[in-house]
Amino acid sequence: MWPRLLSHPRSSPRLLFADSKGRIYDHPHLLALGLSGLDVVLPEPEDFIPLPVGSALYVLPDRHPVGLDPESQTPVILRENPFQPGEPAFAVAGYLAPAHTQLYLAPYLEARPDLEPLPLFSYACVGWAGGRFFATAFRSDFDHRQEVRFFDEERIETRAREMLSRFPRNRLVKHLVENCVRRYRCPAARNFVLGRWEAPIPTSPACNARCLGCLSLQEEDGPHVAQERLSFVPSPEEIAEAMVPHLKKAPRAVVSFGQGCEGEPLLQARTLEQAISLMRKSTSRGTINLNTNASQPEAVARLRRAGLDSMRVSLFSARNFLYQAYFRPRNYDLQDVKESIRLMKEGGGFVSLNLFVFPGLTDEREEFEALCEVVSLGVDFIQLRNMAVDPLWLLRRIGFKPQGENLGIRGLVAALAQRFPRLRFGYFNPPLR
Ligand code: SF4
């Protein structure tokens, strides 16, 4: 399916751990283990690739790493730093660069029960071998729209200033520049000011779901929010003014409603419908996309008629009990989501799933069967995104109980590809025009 370009370690990488100053070490003999649901497993050397450029290594506070003792072949919890007796050892995990999908998570033991959940990042299994860092992952998309080497800070700031002076009264442009580009360094907003690839259109301060891993709204005892939520609804005119030039000129142009810094865009369906009509009146070029929880089928059908090209549906699980446990939807359910997909396809639109990959859950055979039911509605593309949440905290919150056989993440993708030969896989919203 994907050309195997990258090298693998000759043998299992060694465990990484950190000291209380955050300095990272490789263990003299313990091997790196992966977490799959509640199980720790020894990944195959072929599961590891060199840690992709643009990834980060995170030290997990008050959490001890778990490695494999190659002699006894048993998992070992590393509480103490072997190089500083009496000093604690902390777990290390990888936050993978975009376009790479995790195969295993980093296993850890919480040092005490009342810990705050880790921030909203993904925590992939990492190790050390042959003088370099490795991660259990594969490149799932060869589009380079979010590769760090293509982001020139000075050029971004120059273009951002130009954008503000070009659209002085446009609140959406002001939000994208001051909040998304300058404060959060959002790659999509940076590509917008650089006039290329995919641009973001946040529109909704409200949402009709309460996702456990929501980036912009969390409860008191939840993880810290990653982004502040938008506080206004841009007008259709502001949206069209900002996005029509992008649709007309940007290479591989995509403009996307539904971003991390907002609630659910379908709650602003009237505004979206008018904005799409205005944009399509000005140009037929580029792709107009909607990232959504797909909770309102009728609204989806109306947007498709107005000119929406593609819809990306967020999905933690296609099994109703897990969908309910994660999304905690208000006044809609998984049936509505499926109906939205059916109507978008019936209207000739393109549908992607934004699948939150959680090794040990996403690749359960039961999940595969449930996913097949959704894909059979005509899904064209699956984006293999890494679930960005504290793994053990999430498994507790959803009351996770393993449901039998696991296919492995690669096995899941291969099984889906076999059952649906036309189904494509990737990481980003594909340009369609
Ligand atoms: S649908 Fe989006 S905005 Fe709404 S709770 Fe979930 S992640 Fe947050």
Q: Tokens 């009342």 — which residue?
A: 114
Is 14 in contact with 32 (CB distance < 8 Å)? yes
306 contact partners, CB below 8 Å, separation of at least 6? 272, 273, 276, 277, 280
Of ligand 1's atoms, which has the minimum distance to the CA of residue 210? 5
Best residue for ligand 1 mutational test, from 120, 229, 293 (most atoms within 8 Å of Cβ): 293
pLDDT tens for each residue of 301-324: 999 999 999 999 999 999 999 999
Nearest CA to ligand 1 atom 3: 263
Burial category of 413 from C-beta neighbours within 10 Å (exposed 0-12, middle 13-18, buried 19 and up): buried
Kindly give the interhelix angle for 334-346 and 297-306, rounded to the nearest 10 degrees: 20
Q: How confident is the model at residue 10 (pLDDT cuts 50, 70, 90)?
A: confident
- Report the length, in residues, of the chain: 433
The single-letter code of the amino acid at 227 is Q
Q: Tokens 């313990």 — which residue?
A: 30
Is 161 in contact with 174 (CB distance < 8 Å)? no
Q: Tokens 């730093």 — which residue?
A: 81
Is 391 in contact with 123 (CB distance < 8 Å)? yes
Of ligand 1's atoms, which has the minimum distance to the CA of residue 217? 8
Residue 286 phi/psi, 5° resolution? 80, 170
User: 262 alpha carbon to ligand 1 midpoint, in Å?
Assistant: 8
User: 67 alpha carbon to ligand 1 midpoint, in Å?
Assistant: 35
Domains, the chain, ordered by start = 14-139 (no CATH), 148-426 (3.20.20.70)
pLDDT tens for each residue of 60-106: 999 999 999 999 999 999 999 999 999 999 999 999 999 999 999 99
d(CA 386, CA 198): 19
Enumerate residues lining ligand 1, CB below 6 A. 207, 209-211, 214, 216-217, 263-264, 293
How far CA 237 is from CA of 193, 203, 263, 271, 301, in Å, comes to 19, 12, 20, 9, 22
pLDDT tens for each residue of 224-273: 998 999 999 999 999 999 999 999 999 999 999 999 999 999 999 999 99
In sequence order, the β-bridge partners of residue 384 are 355
User: 211 alpha carbon to ligand 1 midpoint, in Å?
Assistant: 5
- pTM of structure: 0.95
d(CA 58, CA 18): 9
Q: Tokens for 212?
A: 């456990």
Q: Tokens for 122?
A: 């993904």
